[in-house]
Structure 1
Amino acid sequence: MAEGQAPEGSARLGERPEGRREPRRPTAPDGLLVVDKPSGWTSHDVVARVRRLAGTRKVGHAGTLDPMATGVLVLGIGRATRLLTYVVGADKEYRATIRLGVSTTTDDAEGEVLARVGAEGVARADLEVGVAALTGAISQVPSSVSAIKVDGQRAYARVRAGEQVELAARPVTVHGFVVHDVAPGVAEGLAVLDVDVTVVCSSGTYIRALARDLGAALGVGGHLTALRRTRVGGYPLAVARTLEQLEAEVAVLPMAVAARATFPARALTEHEASELSFGRRLAAVAGGPVGTAALPVAAFAPDGTLVALLADDDAGRSRPVLVFAPA
């Protein structure tokens, strides 16, 4: 898929006339920033803009969002960029519209049409059966224009270069796949169905691939026409800020607040906080939160400071995978 660019003749938000340089902004504090990404922007575009707004180059994002898509994009600033590796593994929620009757090269509305098959024969009961088959633990082949790397190069870049790209299926979990509305319509003389859905899924799930596979199962093809990410882990759209709002104020979630929103929490004693600051392991708490490599436990000092992220080992110990308050 082509990288999102500003339309010709348009200016990005906050862009200055040539020859004028805006004053450097004060450096924003360490923490996470939840952005409501606009359509047409790549995740890299948003990072570049936030680097300017936050007054630092130390900005990263927790997982790519397609240029066509809008919604929650979690960014880390300063030391909080170290949290992003683990935020990426959190589950996600989307609102989407799937058009049945047309399949495309990119499995979304930005691709070229591959096939057109009238969807007037698709009954609601058939649709629900197809959705149910794509719910739970499934094996999914990502779209060939995904950001997955193949021999060190993004799959979408290889497709743009004219290569045939076939990606291996991978296990994902679709926790919820709910149909809200089904609207019959006509597109270029063809009967189509536009299906509004909510999807809650594990990290690594491609909503475009769900649209493709649902259409294939129903025998009419399908692609995504709209996608809005409404939650990443504990960061919902309600706490997201538009780029226009961030121009006025860079609303950063402090490290401790950001960690509590997504990770299980463990309260430490002063002694435990000191041990972790030296990178030492702690005894796991019976019945307490269990940390894994994908989603560790956030450990907090008695004063509420985020000390470390912990994962449990096979010996019943909690080891620090990331220490924020080293001795």
Structure 2
Amino acid sequence: MGGFLNVLKPEGITSHDAVLQVRRILGEKRVGHLGTLDPMAVGVLPMVLGRYTRLSEYLLDEDKEYLAEFAFGITTDTCDLDGRITSRVPCEGLAPPDIVRFLAKYTGKIKQVPPAYSAVHVKGRRLHELARKGVEVEAPERDVEVYEFKLLSWKPDPSPRGIFRLRVGRGTYVRALARDLGKDLGCGAAVSYLLRSRVGGFTLKNAVPLAAMRRMQRSTRPHPSRPTSEYAPRIAGGLLSDPATVLSGFPLFELRRDSLASVVHGRPLKPWDFTDPGKVEEWLWQAAAAQGKPRVCFAMYRDAGSGRSEVACVLSAVPGAGNIQGNSCRVKYEKVLLPRER
């Protein structure tokens, strides 16, 4: 079993808890998610199953959309209302114009300090692990990008709250945006509700609730004593996203037909393997090629210097990701930052 699963995470569980539930329901040990969602948050939590988990590091850069409610006049140690209240400040008269004038400051490429309760690693430990032990650590400032930060509605005194639409890049914490905006306003702020509505091509409309998956498990499993392998494929069959659709955002590149065996076996590629070798230098890209049957071979390659492209990971039997055209195979590529350079 393998593919992409668009899960609707409920409030009150961690992203890891959601992964554990999917593992139990589908009987697949290799399950990972594409971006942590806080316990208090709900919404889209894309998961990668089976051999496709090898692609996780290359898919984490997708932008994300949120609907968030900020409560003003309050601060907590977690920057949301699940945390311990650290201050309350009256904010009578706070109005939308006061909010809007600061939003441009947090739009575009900005510096951001992650919340103390976050999954960011510092000296080999996650910040939330240190925070729960009472260890104070100065979190490193990071470069993040906010593409959209817009106030949609406003609830005035006595407990002012605003609903915002946000579109952000990898590593951006909405809780940190609330914290910093509240600090600028002089009254503090914390996230009171957070909904993630999109991650790349995974949308809220097509997300599957975990509760629905559990119901499918109960209705599909013939008997509690029967192994998961007997019924899990029937559940997954109607839920997994088509890999070709998930990966369709990558542009196409042409690989020579006689180089197909190199892709299949994960061998390094050289300039003469491509119809236009000059375009593949210094790129990390995905390759897809058909073999006459509805079977497609997929691989991730990266520049190895000296005009060679080395394999980063290889996947096979990816339906529909490409086809043979004339004497060449259609190959997909995309330039991304390698993990060691992040």
Q: TM-score range by the shorter chain?
A: 0.7 to 0.9
Task: Give 1:65's aligned residue.
Answer: 37
**Larger helix fraction of residues:** 2
Q: Does 1:259 align with 2:247?
A: yes
Deviation at 1:66, TM superposition (A): 0.8
Deviation at 1:168, TM superposition (A): 1.2
Once the two structures are superposed, residues 197-252 of structure 1 have per-residue CA deviations (whole angstroms, 9 ceiling, x without a partner) of 11111110000000001111111111101111111122112221111222323311
Select which of 180, 184, 187 maps to 1:217: 184
Gaps of 5+ in 2: 217-234, 318-342
Within-5 A mapping of 1:201-240: 201-240=168-207
Task: Give 1:11's aligned residue.
Answer: none
Secondary structure at the aligned position of 2:247 is classed as helix
Q: How many residues align?
A: 289
Task: Give 1:176's aligned residue.
Answer: 148
Work out the CA distance in 1 between the residues paired with 2:149 and 2:278: 32
Work out the CA distance in 2 between the residues paired with 1:131 and 1:290: 39
Work out the CA distance in 1 between the residues paired with 2:256 and 2:203: 31
Task: Give 1:25's aligned residue.
Answer: none
Once the two structures are superposed, residues 253-291 of structure 1 have per-residue CA deviations (whole angstroms, 9 ceiling, x without a partner) of 24333322x544445453343333343235475897998
Secondary structure at the aligned position of 1:253 is classed as coil
Q: 1:272 to 1:141 in 2, by over 3 A?
A: same
Q: 1:274 to 1:161 in 2, by over 3 A?
A: same
8 Å CA contact 1:265–1:300 kept in 2: the answer is no
2:144 partner amino acid: V
Within-5 A mapping of 1:1-327: 29-186=1-158, 192-247=159-214, 248=216, 249-250=235-236, 251-260=239-248, 262-266=249-253, 268-277=255-264, 278-281=266-269, 283=271, 285=276, 296-302=284-290, 305-311=296-302, 319-325=310-316
* Between 133-142 and 230-239, the greater mean CA deviation after superposition: 230-239
Work out the CA distance in 1 between the residues paired with 2:95 and 2:308: 54
Gaps of 5+ in 1: 1-28, 187-191
8 Å CA contact 1:141–1:167 kept in 2: the answer is yes
Task: Work out which of the two has the higher radius of gyration on C-alpha atoms and give 1 or 2.
Answer: 2
Deviation at 1:99, TM superposition (A): 1.2
Q: 1:269 to 1:194 in 2, by over 3 A?
A: farther
Identity %: 37
* Between 280-289 and 176-185, the greater mean CA deviation after superposition: 280-289
Q: TM-score, normalised by structure 1?
A: 0.80
